[in-house]
């Protein structure tokens, strides 16, 4: 359709040119998202596009009969979130392979063919520069007195910069992670818990400003499934307590997960939550002589699930090493955690997982979004 060409270059009118820009940048954002969801590192869109970014104007400022090009407003407009998304998306498009370096940095383990330390440093610098660019954009075009959209953007700035600061800081230097191990599996679990905590911040921010729906749209069911699976394996530690708090947050803001009769995926998650809680009760009873207080959602799940569904012990799958750490396309048996592969490898396609511990129910209807909370842009598979 030629939308990658700027309307002014083609001699089109100001209104059509501006609408084409808005549409093209939305296409870029959606393409970047689904390319990553599919594990693709390069877009199939034209690389030589010259469509300019949309203007910082209100909808009322543009009209079909205009004859002069529209000019950016210097103050706040309705476009603040679009400008943020466009800046973030352009950064991802201009930085192919960056998401793989981010994950390699999080793992803290070198592997054959992986990025060098110098590349890691450059990666962190790029992310830090993105933070500065977003901060400059918000300082220029965002005013909390301009309405709830701008209030939301101001709050999102704080969350986003904290997220960026977390990404550019090596795991071993993060004080909030504690000393609960630095293995690949530990780091993967920590990343997943932090992602859910970031979701909670977004929920609380949007709840009071009428934009809770925006945060709920980007709920990462795949990451929640991974955390629940890890809670079956982990019984103690501060991070486990934080993870259980997030399970309660998720069921608070996503009551649809209690609909286990019509959704098999939710039913499997419920089974695993109950199995994991049973193990937590046993551990707490052995350590303190007391049972932990059961959260509200457990009573609902127990009333909906037959006892044998969660009191019978599942057979865990054989452990293996993620394929991308060995250079093989197929995983190899080793002392590793299968949940790690599910999170970093096939977790974007939950229907392809072999989760023996969930029983024999087929997985379906899994919503696929990713750890860049608020933007819904997940990392690519290596």
155 located within any domain: no
Encode pLDDT of 12-26 as tens digits. Answer: 999 999 999 999 998
Residue 333: per-residue pLDDT: 39
Residue 340: per-residue pLDDT: 37
Residue 40: per-residue pLDDT: 61
Encode pLDDT of 303-336 as tens digits. Answer: 888 765 555 555 444 333 333 333 343 433 334 4
Using CA atoms, how far apart are residues 297 and 143, in angstroms rounded to an integer? 39
3 located within any domain: yes
260 located within any domain: yes
347 located within any domain: yes
The DSSP code for 261 is T
**37-to-330, 347, 350 alpha-carbon distances in Å:** 20, 10, 12
The distance in angstroms from the start CA to the end CA of the chain is 32
Domain end among 41, 74, 107: 74
- Asked whether the whole model's pTM tops 0.85, one would answer no
Domain end among 74, 99, 131: 74
183 located within any domain: no
Overall domain count for the chain: 2
Using CA atoms, how far apart are residues 177 and 170, in angstroms rounded to an integer? 11
Are residues 373 and 202 in contact, defined by beta-carbon separation less than 8 angstroms?
Answer: yes
The DSSP code for 291 is P
Q: Which domain holds residue 15?
A: 1-74
Residue 371: per-residue pLDDT: 37
Percent of the chain with pLDDT over 90: 25
Q: For the ranges 164-178, 201-215, 293-307, 323-337, which has the lowest average pLDDT?
A: 323-337
Going by C-alpha positions, the residue among 80, 42, 79 that lies closest to residue 60 is: 79
Strand, coil or helix: 314:
coil
Domain end among 40, 74, 108: 74
267 located within any domain: yes
Residue 119: per-residue pLDDT: 75
255 located within any domain: yes
61 located within any domain: yes
């Amino acid at each position: 359709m030629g939308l990658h060409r700027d309307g002014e270059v083609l001699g089109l009118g100001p209104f059509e040119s501006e609408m084409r820009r808005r549409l093209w940048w939305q296409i870029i954002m959606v393409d970047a998202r689904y390319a990553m969801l599919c594990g693709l590192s390069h877009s199939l869109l034209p690389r030589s596009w010259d469509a300019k970014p949309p203007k910082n104007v209100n909808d009322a400022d543009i009209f079909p009969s205009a004859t002069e090009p529209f000019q950016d407003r210097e103050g706040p407009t309705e476009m603040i979130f679009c400008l943020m998304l466009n800046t973030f998306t352009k950064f991802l498009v201009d930085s192919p392979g960056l998401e793989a370096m981010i994950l390699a940095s999080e793992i803290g383990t070198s592997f054959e063919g992986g990025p060098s330390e110098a590349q890691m440093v450059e990666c962190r610098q790029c992310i830090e520069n993105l933070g500065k660019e977003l901060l400059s954009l918000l300082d220029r075009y965002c005013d909390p007195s301009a309405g709830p959209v701008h209030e939301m953007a101001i709050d999102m700035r704080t969350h986003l910069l904290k997220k960026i600061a977390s990404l550019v800081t090596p795991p071993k230097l993060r004080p909030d992670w504690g000393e609960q191990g630095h293995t690949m599996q530990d780091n993967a679990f920590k990343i997943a818990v932090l992602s859910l905590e970031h979701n909670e911040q977004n929920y609380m921010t949007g709840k009071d400003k009428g934009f809770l729906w925006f945060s709920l749209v980007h709920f990462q069911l795949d990451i929640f499934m991974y955390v629940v699976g890890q809670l079956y394996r982990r019984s103690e530690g501060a991070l486990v307590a934080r993870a259980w708090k997030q399970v309660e947050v998720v069921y608070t803001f996503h009551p649809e997960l209690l609909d286990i009769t019509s959704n098999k995926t939710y039913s499997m998650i419920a089974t695993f939550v109950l199995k994991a809680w049973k193990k937590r009760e046993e551990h707490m009873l052995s350590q303190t002589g007391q049972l932990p207080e059961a959260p509200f959602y457990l009573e609902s799940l127990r009333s909906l699930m037959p006892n044998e569904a969660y009191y019978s012990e599942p057979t865990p799958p054989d452990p293996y090493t993620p394929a991308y750490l060995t250079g093989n396309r197929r995983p190899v048996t080793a002392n590793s955690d299968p949940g790690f592969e599910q999170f970093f490898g096939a977790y974007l396609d939950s229907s392809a997982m072999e989760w023996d511990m969930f029983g024999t129910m087929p997985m379906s209807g899994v919503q696929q979004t990713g750890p860049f909370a608020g933007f819904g842009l997940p990392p690519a598979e290596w």
